Amino acid sequence: MSLSDWYKIDEVEDGIFVVEEPYHVQSFLINGQTHSALIDTGTGFRNIREAIKHLLRDDVIVLNTHWHFDHVGGNVLFDNIGISKSEAHLIEYDLSSDVLMDIYVKPFMELEIPFPDDFIPEAYEIKGSKASFHVKEGDKIDLGGRTLDAVSLPGHSHGSMAFIDSNTRSLIAGDFIYKDELYAHLEDSDLDEYIDSLIKLKQKQDAFKNIYPAHGEYPIQNSFIDRVLKEFQKIKSGAAPDRVIENFGERAHFYQFDDFSIFSKMPGYKGVKLIDNI
């Protein structure tokens, strides 16, 4: 299986390339005149750097939206990595095939989600990586002729970051918002933070016109923020869930809407801990 059979690469805006691992995750490459920024590095099933090498400028910066494994799987292939300070230590852990099997490979295979043809679950592991710098709200990342504005959006995880490309007015949103199952039920998720971040993003929406998320369809119009905010606020005021579900050994509330859904913590529960000892 060649790399191009796994990564679907497409220029979605001027100088912005989606690097898609279908049914799994989307990373985004943004090219300035002098620097490339790769926002997230995917599952690490295959070599993302090799897949995009023909597009890369001489200087490459990796920006992680957050520490979750399907966003940092290819970090080890790069040496200039930025992530929020509060999550920097979390990318340093090696994730073994046993851990990845339990939290990802097995459940996704049960759902019959495709993996690379030659994928060997026992050989899949993610090596820890080290942050070279920390990214925080208001940082401007100069790529030469274009700038990325860092926006702190805690909620899905405490240290989640997103990036606005000034040239095309695009928001690269990570797992904060997408038309799929929104995870606010993890141990490092927080409903109040999520709502505050959605309000903040709504106030900033003149700065971008399209949202490019890490999962699900893209682009999303920024009016979607209002709908998600409204539903999160209803959850906060105690709206009854559609179902109580069992997820990774813990119960969570599940809310289904037209084109997205939300997992939230049950009152009094700590939330799902994906990986022990981290």
- Work out how close the CB of 174 gets to Zn ion at its nearest, in angstroms, rounded to a whole number: 7
Asked if residue 44 lies in contact with residue 51, where contact means CB atoms within 8 angstroms, the answer is no
Contact region for Zn ion (CB under 5 A) — 3-11, 21-29, 175-183, 250-258? 175-183
Asked if residue 232 lies in contact with residue 194, where contact means CB atoms within 8 angstroms, the answer is yes
- Work out how close the CB of 123 gets to Zn ion at its nearest, in angstroms, rounded to a whole number: 23
Nearer to Zn ion by Cβ, of 16 and 72: the residue is: 72
Residue 175 found at the interface with Zn ion (CB under 5 A): yes
| Distances, alpha carbon 196 to alpha carbons 24, 73, 86, 154, in Å | 28, 29, 18, 8
Contact region for Zn ion (CB under 5 A) — 22-30, 114-122, 172-180, 236-244? 172-180
Site of tokens 């966003």: 71
Contact region for Zn ion (CB under 5 A) — 100-108, 123-131, 167-175, 195-203? 167-175
- Work out how close the CB of 206 gets to Zn ion at its nearest, in angstroms, rounded to a whole number: 27
Residue type, 50: E
Nearer to Zn ion by Cβ, of 60 and 173: the residue is: 173
Nearer to Zn ion by Cβ, of 68 and 179: the residue is: 68
Give the residue closest to Zn ion by C-beta.
68
Nearer to Zn ion by Cβ, of 87 and 231: the residue is: 87
Residue type, 96: S
- Please list, in sequence order, all residues whose beta carbon lies within 8 angstroms of the beta carbon of residue 168, skipping any fewer than 6 positions away: 13, 14, 15, 16, 210
Taking residues 47 to 86 in sequence order and writing x for each that binds Zn ion by CB under 5 A, - otherwise, the string is: ---------------------x------------------
Number of residues that bind Zn ion (CB under 5 A): 2
For the chain, the helix, strand and coil percentages under 3-state DSSP, each to the nearest 5: 25, 30, 45
Q: How many CB atoms lie within 10 A of CB 153?
A: 27
Contact region for Zn ion (CB under 5 A) — 29-37, 169-177, 200-208, 258-266? 169-177
Nearer to Zn ion by Cβ, of 161 and 225: the residue is: 161
| Distances, alpha carbon 30 to alpha carbons 57, 101, 163, 174, 204, in Å | 10, 31, 11, 14, 21
Would you tell me which residues interact with Zn ion (CB under 5 A)? 68, 175
